[in-house]
Chains A and B, each alone.
Chain A
Amino acid sequence: MEFRSVLTTCPYCAVGCNMLLQVLDDQIVSTLPAKTGPSNEGSLCIKGWNVHEFVQHQDRLTTPSLRQNDSLKAVTWDQALDHAASELTRLKDTYGPESVAFVGSARCTNEETYVFQKFARAVFGHNHVDHCARL
């Protein structure tokens, strides 16, 4: 059995509590508050304490899927990415780069968001990129 305790930051609200995910053989079994967290100093709320319950939930999406005759069918990463790239390219070439808009997230990491907006701006040459800050 391999046990690890991983220091990280809560994914829910922006208090930004630090927490320790308790990992046993690649299964997150519980969550503990981190005393070193500047904003929580050893506390978590009910959402934080139970955060591990959704991470490995059976409903998680694990493989890409593609719409075929009105339903989504599982495909490989290469098939999904090739199709997405060719469709986005088709729209860009047919209707112009301003025909595709982008909605990011206030839940992803800074690094993911940085790459997302860079992709939108650099590949499409416009600024139709936003996220749910106002929600």
Chain B
Amino acid sequence: MTNSFKELESANCILAIGTNTTVAHPIGSMRLMRAKSNGAKLIVADPRRTQIASLAHLHIQHRLGTDVALINGLMHIIYKNGWHNQAFIEERTENFPALAEVIEQFPPERTSEITGVPVDQLKQAAEWYSRSESSAICYVLGITQHSTGTDNVKSLANLSMLCGQIGRPSTGVNPIRGQNNVQGACDMGCLPNVLPGYQYITVPENLEKFAKAWNAKLSPTPGLTMVEQIDAILDGKFKGLVVFGANPVTSYPDVNRVEKAMQALEFLLVMDIFPTPTSAFAHVVLPACSFAESDGTYSSSERRVQRVRPAIPPIPGKANWETLQELSTRMGYPLKYTCGEDIFNEMASLTPAFGGMSFARLNEKGLCWPCPTADHPGTQYLHQGRFSRGLGMFNAIDYRPPAEAPDKDYPFWLTTGTLFTHYLTGTMTRRCPTLHHENPVVEVEINPEDAQRLHIEAGEEIQATSRRGTIKARALVTTKVRPGVVFIPLHYAENAANRLTNAALDPVTKTPEYKVCAVNLAKSA
């Protein structure tokens, strides 16, 4: 997030797009509701009528995968009406003419045709967002999990810069992260192209600094992302895979293919807290500690590094870092950490954005990075006065339809997502009796019109099939989804929505298109 959660309360307008926030981040969504009761205009753009959508002043129910067209259309209206922030564009950005050229092609009528959103709704949203004193954008995986995910995010950045709604309190472009430490895993360099603190491996000074500190030879060549790794396994390039706290055989797209890859491995090492569909393929399974047995830190969505403290001793008998350390030592690269704090201090010494942090300083309320020195208070919002790269860059982005669209054989749009009681592949939440009780089995949301046409009764078990696989699910007949669209939550390993999803990747981030694919529905045999 460029800004902090609390700031959202004081925004005058919030555009929440592709984020089912009351379900995925309930306590974060409280800030949106408080902003609304403080008088902010709340606009929700989501193909489904989610709870937050029904509470909004305006719900834009655009067609799946048409986000770029929608945002370009909003910018068209803003620019034509002179609601943009000329001073901000001149002082803080570059490449505006290219953007102007693209948005010229998205007049309201065409935008409405592509997105299915009425013109007066487009105008209302454009006016509220651009003319409010401070407007914030919130988004999450509904924006990124597309083959056009990078385009979607850049389009939102364009919109915020066009209106000067960034770099001040209660503005910005704010991805609300779904997983507790997704921010931290990126911050720590668990990515194929960066070292801790987003220090690119392709910059020789970075690589040298770490090579020296770690006393190791490091490679300047970016590695493969997780979904590309599956291809590489099937091509025979990778023979071994080490999986730490992940469950690809439920969470990756096109699960049937992932299973083939797991079978093809000569050696699979899985470390996790529960048995999972992935650990069933493993050659060695190592038990892991949960958060309640770990001593360390997480980075929240607002870049706040907070303490995690052990409540009970490690159930497997070892802390997770000890297990990794012992494995590394056995492979001839000895590590000698003594505790979580010891590891944190080494990381902070090599990572300028964390340089001023220590457990002693984090103990009370955590700190938001960047926090470069021991007396730095941390950073509540980014891009004040200046973007990290200097001038903000406008990217001219044209609309591309999703990789797969419904046809005669697979006539429904499928989109996937989260339920309020469950988390990811459900290995934790489905073992909490209180949560399991709420949503024990997988249900597919289907519009009453479609249900009637297919003679599907509410509560009946039906089959959903895509080009890649088939699952069974109970029919939940609801107007939350439009006719022609169905929704399946992703938490159920036994009927994994990802047996259906498409592994089409965004060309830059390699994020799979979880949010759109084509399926067929039929009564169960």
Distance in angstroms from B499 CB to nearest chain A CB is: 15
Contact A122 B218 (CB under 8 A): yes
Distance in angstroms from B329 CB to nearest chain A CB is: 9
Given contacts A36-B365, A110-B296, contact A104 B246 (CB under 8 A): yes
Given contacts A54-B431, A59-B431, contact A109 B181 (CB under 8 A): yes
Contact A50 B300 (CB under 8 A): no
Contact A61 B246 (CB under 8 A): no
Bound together, the chains give a CA A57 to CA B288 distance in angstroms of 14
Say yes or no for A14: interface residue by CB 8 A criterion.
Answer: yes
Contact A114 B196 (CB under 8 A): yes
- Tell which of A28, A61, A113 has the most Cβ of chain B within 10 Å: A113
Chain B contacts for A43, CB-based, 8 A: 27, 30
Say yes or no for B307: interface residue by CB 8 A criterion.
Answer: yes
Given contacts A38-B6, A111-B321, contact A9 B298 (CB under 8 A): yes
Chain A contacts for B251, CB-based, 8 A: 132, 135
CB-CB contacts of B156-185 with A at 8 A, as 1s and 0s?
A: 000000000000000000001111111111
Bound together, the chains give a CA A114 to CA B229 distance in angstroms of 21
Chain B contacts for A87, CB-based, 8 A: 240, 266-267, 269, 283-284
Chain A contacts for B325, CB-based, 8 A: 115
Contact A40 B192 (CB under 8 A): no
Distance in angstroms from B344 CB to nearest chain A CB is: 6
The tally of residues in B whose CB lies under 8 Å from a CB in A reads: 144
Contact B192 A130 (CB under 8 A): yes
CB-CB contacts of B365-395 with A at 8 A, as 1s and 0s?
A: 1100000000000000000000000000000
Contact B182 A109 (CB under 8 A): no
Distance in angstroms from B148 CB to nearest chain A CB is: 14
Query: Which residue of the partner chain, among A17, A100, A107, contacts B242 with CB atoms under 8 Å?
Result: A100
Chain B contacts for A48, CB-based, 8 A: 27
Chain B residue, CB-CB nearest to A61: B287
Contact B315 A16 (CB under 8 A): no
Chain B contacts for A46, CB-based, 8 A: 26, 420-421, 434-435, 438
Chain A contacts for B17, CB-based, 8 A: none
Given contacts A63-B287, A103-B226, A127-B222, contact A108 B185 (CB under 8 A): yes
Contact B432 A53 (CB under 8 A): yes
Bound together, the chains give a CA A87 to CA B267 distance in angstroms of 7
Bound together, the chains give a CA A119 to CA B279 distance in angstroms of 21
Binds A, one of B55-63, B65-73, B78-86, B231-239: B231-239
Chain A contacts for B180, CB-based, 8 A: 9-14, 16, 106-107
Bound together, the chains give a CA A125 to CA B219 distance in angstroms of 6
Contact B330 A82 (CB under 8 A): yes
Given contacts A6-B309, A43-B27, contact A122 B214 (CB under 8 A): yes
Say yes or no for B306: interface residue by CB 8 A criterion.
Answer: yes
Chain B residues with CB under 8 Å of chain A are 5-6, 24-28, 30, 141, 144-145, 176-193, 195-196, 201, 210, 214-219, 221-227, 229, 232-233, 237-246, 248, 251-252, 266-267, 269, 272-275, 279, 282-288, 290-302, 304-313, 315-318, 320-321, 323-328, 330-333, 335, 337, 340, 343-344, 346-347, 364-366, 420-424, 428-429, 431-435, 438, 509-512, 514
A sample of 14 cross-chain residue pairs with beta-carbon separation below 8 angstroms, ordered by A number, consists of A9-B180, A11-B180, A11-B291, A16-B304, A16-B366, A52-B292, A55-B311, A60-B287, A72-B282, A111-B340, A119-B333, A121-B195, A122-B215, A134-B510
Known: A110-B297, A117-B188, A127-B192. 17 other contacts (CB 8 A): A9-B291, A13-B24, A13-B180, A38-B365, A47-B432, A48-B27, A59-B431, A85-B327, A88-B269, A91-B266, A101-B229, A107-B180, A108-B245, A111-B344, A113-B190, A114-B344, A128-B238
